[in-house]
Structures are given as structure tokens and as C-alpha cells.
């Protein structure tokens, strides 16, 4: 697909990433930035991957119950189509669960070249402790990365890992709520991984 030319280059926008393990309130931070934009009368666009059907197919819902309507995309290139179909200029773009949108980094750079600020919420690591490739790529082009931590369910120190309780399901896709995962610090994560 040929991507549209980023025509109105006045000043590039900034790419901000909220990242960390599950339960680190990434979506809450994303929605906080969203509310700030809306209060400032900025035109906004909210996007999430179609794969995330955790609570509702067209809304972003944080663990504390806050919700916002979102446009769904199957792949990163779908964002070009959504952006091109908007009648007015978009100032701020918000993308939730972005680790599930492959090849996203190139589109984020394109969005920032149109002058839009982009806010992204994404997991940094899979439940096997290895990085999401999409996230590593996005970190490389980001202007600002906010690393969030959760609370370790075993020792109460800062948690940086998402531990999946059912070892059969370990791997690429990490979906689901509280029941399937525990936030852990690296020490507790390593101990529990070796015991599984
Ligand atoms: Zn711990």
C-alpha cells in the first residue's frame, strides 16, 4: 500500500510511550493524556488493535473502569486509511495495546510528520520475559518513554514483569485480565519461571 504524503509539515509532533508490565496503569496514563487533550479542545483520534476484545470491541477501558470509544485497526497501515478519512486535522493520536500492531513504528513517525502528537500504551515484555518486537521498534523512534511499574504480587517491590500463571499458554499473545496474570519483580518472576 502506498502511504499518503505527510503534507502539512509545520512542526513535527512528539511520540510519547507509556510502557511496563500488566497492572502498571499504562491505559490509565494514556487516558489521562487523552482527557488533557480534550480539555484543551484539541482534535483527537483513538485507536486500538482489533485483537483486543478483552472487555468491549470498540472501547478502551482501563482496569479502573474508565472508557473511551476507539477506532479499530487490523494492522499498522490501517491507520493511514483512518487518518485520511478524517474531515478535520487531528492534533493528538492515542493508541492502546499497541504491542499487538506489527510494524507500527514507521506509521508513528509518519503521524508525527503530519504534526500530530502520538501517545502509545504498550507492554514492553511478553509473558516469557522477552521483548515485544513492535515495542522495541517503537521505543527506538519515541521522543519520550515513560516506564511504569506495578506492585509485585509476591514481595510488594516494584514489578516489571507479567507472569502468566498457566505455563501452557506462554508465548507471544498476552491477553486477559487479572485472573491469568500476576505482576512480579524480576527476582520473583525468575524464581516462578524456573519452578514451572
Ligand atoms: Zn517480587
Q: For the chain, list the domains and their CATH numbers.
A: 15-149 (3.40.50.300)
Distance, in Å, from the CA atom of 147 to the CA atom of 170, rounded to the nearest integer, reads 23
Single out the residue of 159, 149, 147, 150 nearest to residue 184, CA to CA: 159
For residue 59, the model assigns a pLDDT of: 72
Let me know: does 17 contact 120? Beta carbons within 8 Å: yes
The answer, as to whether pTM is greater than 0.85, is yes
- The answer to whether 133 is a known catalytic residue is no
Q: Which grid coordinates belong to 7? A: 503534507
Give distance in angstroms: CA of 129 to centre of ligand 1. Answer: 15
Region of poorest pLDDT, from 6-20, 31-45, 110-124: 6-20
Max alpha carbon distance in the chain (Å)?
55
Max mean pLDDT range (53-62, 109-118, 147-156, 163-172): 147-156
State the CB neighbour count (10 A cutoff) for residue 174.
Answer: 22
> How many CB atoms lie under 10 A from the CB of residue 78?
18
First vs last C-alpha separation in the chain: 44
Of these residues, 97, 168, 182, 195, which one is catalytic? 97
Q: Does residue 110 carry a pLDDT above 60?
A: yes
Give me ligand 1 centre to Cα 122, in Å.
22
66 within 8 A of 28, measured Cβ to Cβ: yes
Grid cell for residue 21:
508490565
If pLDDT is split at 50, 70 and 90, which confidence band does 65 have? Answer: confident
Average per-residue pLDDT in the chain? Answer: 87
Query: pLDDT for 41-52, tens place per residue?
Result: 999 999 999 875
Is the pLDDT at 151 greater than 80? The verdict is yes
pLDDT in tens, 112-147: 998 999 999 999 999 999 999 999 999 999 999 999
Picking from 98-102, 130-134, 163-167, which range would have the lowest pLDDT averaged per residue? 163-167
Cα 158 to ligand 1 centre (Å): 7
Task: For the chain, give the percent of residues with pLDDT over 90.
Answer: 63
Amino acid at each position: 500500500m502506498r502511504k499518503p504524503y505527510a503534507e502539512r509539515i509545520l512542526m513535527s509532533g512528539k511520540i510519547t510511550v507509556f510502557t511496563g508490565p500488566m497492572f502498571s496503569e499504562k491505559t490509565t496514563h494514556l487516558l489521562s493524556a487523552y482527557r488533557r487533550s480534550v480539555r484543551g479542545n484539541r482534535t483527537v483520534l483513538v485507536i486500538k488493535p482489533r485483537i483486543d476484545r478483552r472487555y468491549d470491541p470498540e472501547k478502551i477501558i482501563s482496569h479502573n473502569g474508565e472508557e473511551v470509544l476507539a477506532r479499530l485497526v487490523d494492522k499498522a497501515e490501517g491507520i493511514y486509511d483512518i487518518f485520511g478519512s478524517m474531515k478535520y486535522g487531528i492534533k493528538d493520536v492515542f493508541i492502546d495495546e499497541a504491542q499487538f500492531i506489527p510494524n507500527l513504528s514507521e506509521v508513528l513517525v509518519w503521524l508525527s510528520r503530519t504534526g500530530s502528537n502520538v501517545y502509545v500504551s504498550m507492554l514492553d515484555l511478553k509473558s516469557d520475559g522477552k521483548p515485544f518486537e513492535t515495542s522495541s521498534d517503537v521505543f527506538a523512534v519515541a521522543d519520550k518513554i515513560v516506564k511504569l511499574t506495578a506492585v509485585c504480587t509476591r514481595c510488594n517491590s516494584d514489578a516489571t514483569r507479567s507472569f502468566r500463571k498457566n505455563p501452557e499458554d506462554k508465548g507471544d499473545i498476552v491477553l486477559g485480565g487479572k485472573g491469568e496474570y500476576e505482576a512480579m519483580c524480576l527476582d520473583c518472576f525468575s524464581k516462578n519461571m524456573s519452578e514451572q
